[in-house]
Structure 1
């Protein structure tokens, strides 16, 4: 890798190029992280919380500027970019409030005079993160990793180097000690090799399944803790007793948020046959109303994809579906204009043999599957290698709760689209990952629970 290019997806033109960090620069960063950790872990958790709160406020005050940076570098529409910044601020604020409570030693009864479990940080954590939520993917994990007393070395996606460098600047501006949060500009293989280094104690990875498995393999061989948040093919189930209009109104943004480039976006619409026609018609109607164009325009709903290769992947998935009998209700596809634009595509007559069902569709393609009843809906929803999020629609809440327990997913919403919140664990099962981020469950992923008995 001779350079890392920041490319504007709206135009396809290079914004800026960066020279990757040399091996010596990376070594310096590793040593700095190790030294910073030994000081950072000794800082009282209340002081760490204060810094998290200060960073939260800094993000809020610079929402416009940071939102524009996200939009410029990866193409997300500006209203969603700004919302991403505020979501990060909320999450930092949550752990600023709760870190002290979560770090408090837990007294327990044993045969000793005094027994407790203390919670100790692990050390420098290597965070390998993707481009689709360039601030959120980093800060949602960093908020609790840092609150616990660990430090972070970030290897961000090479698609978003400006966002990656900006985050390091923000941490310093908020008053965090030098070395507590550092950005490494490097390639994937180099980042993977860092897992073997003694300075690195754990890995937080978000990204594709194939890469995630390689990260897990290296981490396991070197006895390093890891958390993986991988791909998803989330089902959006509409039963025959659902409020169809409401379901369709939520289904459209659930599919097309971030131009469909979201791990927990609705990706398979599984609809009971009695309401399939009504739901599909409403879904198509609402999809056709979406405005595609300049992502800096606050009225735009769908911007460009991050890179041209994303378009090629979607084209192959859609062509595969059509060749196997799917019908295109909205043809969509690559647009003949500057930038990496792909207009929404809606498919019906979709079956389980098609790539749009078996693979993760990372873009504005919506496959609709018709089923006979709720039993078949659950079976098809679970017939996937993935298990990240899910949504189920029914006016019977008791039934919805029962069926939610039957879905093979890490997160389920009934009569809503699942939105991450700092108070709830985020993560999946099966090929969608291992471990959790956020809430107390994510907080303790990068903590050593130490048993202490005093006689």
Structure 2
């Protein structure tokens, strides 16, 4: 059969530091896409029978190549989407750790699981399901694809990737790395297609399931398309994470943690502390500390080691965030610092500090995906929790304070998939990542990540004379 993918304009790498086009790639034809999916389907037939040991060898080799090439890969990510080089290199190292984690533990996670039963024996056998479509965003161009690729390829599935159109070189080089690591052709393949054609791929009967990280509208569209074909999906759709500072918190530590956490990746992190929630009595003191740190932030070339804040991923991204800040100001919020585009080439926006945000403002509820620090205040803990839960999102969150038992009590009342105590929402191979509410469903990383796209098949053995 043929998968319908229309010919579209080329896919480009545009360096957000200077808005210059670096490289262009042709969009794949219908026939090319059909062949890639067919090859992935054929590869699955043998890959699912490949031993865990051999799959692990491939994943370990991928990890080794990533570490060897981390400088090269880091520069490529910085070139394509603008993040600080030190952040890009850290991202590559994290990906290597995730590949090693599943290579080391995949066989154990997927071993037959015995079940208690009154007669005979029963167990769950975890089996791969087929070709997965992975649809990923640009903000962590290597990490996002690693989260879905590492567990699922270890589980015996094969994968086709539709990456964000502004990071095509990162997308292609990961396929090259898999081939260099010894993965059979078709186990992991990149697709150069426009986003509007993804739904058509979901309908292809050779695609068994889909994993998407992206916007809420994109997630709703993909979930609907997958559901209509009775296919499983996992979605991670962003967030507006709360960061509750308790009365007993060290304000110097809280200020540093929140400012640098918010400026990470120029604020383009789904789990950065987008809404800092502070006791009202501490506002003046805390604000002084935050403003002092803002005064030290250097905006500039992401390749330079002393740069603190990089450009946003694209000119449109910078324009969109500036418009959100302007709207907050129009609605009565206090823009204490920044809020404007910087008069220089590139997708730059001033690091921005906003206070006095009320439920009558869009900024109270929406996600702002840029270097924008929003400060809320509360009179009591119940109000802090109410503010934390006031958005439709539920991805991550943090509670910061010396009384960790009390912090855990607060964490239990925050409607999110993850809460970190005395730390911004973080990332580790062994910890599950995912949200609730409109932040999506499903989990990646940890043991949970390898069970999303396997068939937990029950096998029960009884005496042939048994009555049931």
Is the TM-score greater than 0.5? yes
Alignment of 1:205 onto 2:229: no
CA distance in 1, matches of 2:156, 2:50: 8
Quote the residue 1:19 is aligned against.
26
Distance apart, 1:111 and its partner CA: 4.2
Q: What SS does structure 2 have at the residue aligned with 1:204?
A: strand
Q: Is the 8 A contact 1:153 1:184 kept in 2?
A: yes
Return 5+ residue gaps in structure 2 as ranges.
1-7, 463-468
Q: Is the 8 A contact 1:112 1:453 kept in 2?
A: no
Distance apart, 1:110 and its partner CA: 2.1
Q: What SS does structure 1 have at the residue aligned with 2:124?
A: strand
CA distance in 2, matches of 1:383, 1:142: 33
Quote the residue 1:98 is aligned against.
105
Return 5+ residue gaps in structure 1 as ranges.
none
Give 1:404-419 correspondences, 5 Å limit.
Answer: 404-419=411-426
Distance apart, 1:353 and its partner CA: 2.3
Q: Is the 8 A contact 1:168 1:182 kept in 2?
A: yes
Output one character per residue of 1:175-213: Cα deviation in whole Å (capped at 9) or x when no partner: 111100000000112122100101100000000000100
Give 1:158-173 correspondences, 5 Å limit.
Answer: 158-173=165-180
CA distance in 2, matches of 1:83, 1:14: 26
Distance apart, 1:366 and its partner CA: 1.0
Quote the residue 1:350 is aligned against.
357
Quote the residue 2:252 is aligned against.
245
Output one character per residue of 1:384-420: Cα deviation in whole Å (capped at 9) or x when no partner: 1000000111211110011110000101011111211
Alignment of 1:57 onto 2:71: no
CA distance in 2, matches of 1:326, 1:430: 27
Q: Is the 8 A contact 2:297 2:309 kept in 1?
A: yes
Distance apart, 1:332 and its partner CA: 3.9
Alignment of 1:340 onto 2:366: no
CA distance in 2, matches of 1:338, 1:222: 46
Q: What SS does structure 1 have at the residue aligned with 2:452?
A: helix
CA distance in 2, matches of 1:78, 1:190: 32
Further displaced range: 310-319 or 442-451: 310-319
Quote the residue 1:298 is aligned against.
305
Give the counterpart of 1:313 among 309, 317, 320: 320
Q: What SS does structure 2 have at the residue aligned with 1:335?
A: coil
Distance apart, 1:324 and its partner CA: 2.2
Give the counterpart of 1:331 among 318, 322, 338: 338
Alignment of 1:70 onto 2:77: yes
Distance apart, 1:335 and its partner CA: 0.8
Q: Hey, which bits of structure 1, 4+ residues long, moved more than 6 A?
A: none
CA distance in 1, matches of 2:313, 2:348: 9
Tell me the matched-pair count. 455
Output one character per residue of 1:31-72: Cα deviation in whole Å (capped at 9) or x when no partner: 000000111110111211121111111100111000000000
Give the counterpart of 1:29 among 17, 33, 36: 36
CA RMSD of aligned residues (A): 1.0
Give the counterpart of 2:402 among 381, 386, 395: 395
Q: Is the 8 A contact 1:233 1:357 kept in 2?
A: no
CA distance in 1, matches of 2:285, 2:200: 53
Q: Is the 8 A contact 2:399 2:407 kept in 1?
A: yes
Alignment of 1:135 onto 2:120: no
Q: What SS does structure 2 have at the residue aligned with 1:85?
A: helix
CA distance in 2, matches of 1:253, 1:270: 16
CA distance in 2, matches of 1:26, 1:424: 34
Q: Is the 8 A contact 1:326 1:350 kept in 2?
A: yes
TM-score of the aligned structures, taking structure 1 as reference length? 0.98
Give the counterpart of 1:81 among 74, 88, 109: 88
Q: Is the 8 A contact 2:280 2:379 kept in 1?
A: yes
Quote the residue 1:191 is aligned against.
198
Quote the residue 2:241 is aligned against.
234
Alignment of 1:423 onto 2:430: yes
Give 1:344-383 correspondences, 5 Å limit.
Answer: 344-383=351-390
Q: Is the 8 A contact 1:124 1:199 kept in 2?
A: yes
Give the counterpart of 1:118 among 117, 120, 125: 125
Q: What SS does structure 2 have at the residue aligned with 1:406?
A: coil
Q: Is the 8 A contact 2:418 2:425 kept in 1?
A: yes
TM-score of the aligned structures, taking structure 2 as reference length? 0.96
Further displaced range: 101-110 or 132-141: 101-110
Give 1:272-283 correspondences, 5 Å limit.
Answer: 272-283=279-290
Quote the residue 1:437 is aligned against.
444
Q: Is the 8 A contact 2:322 2:339 kept in 1?
A: no
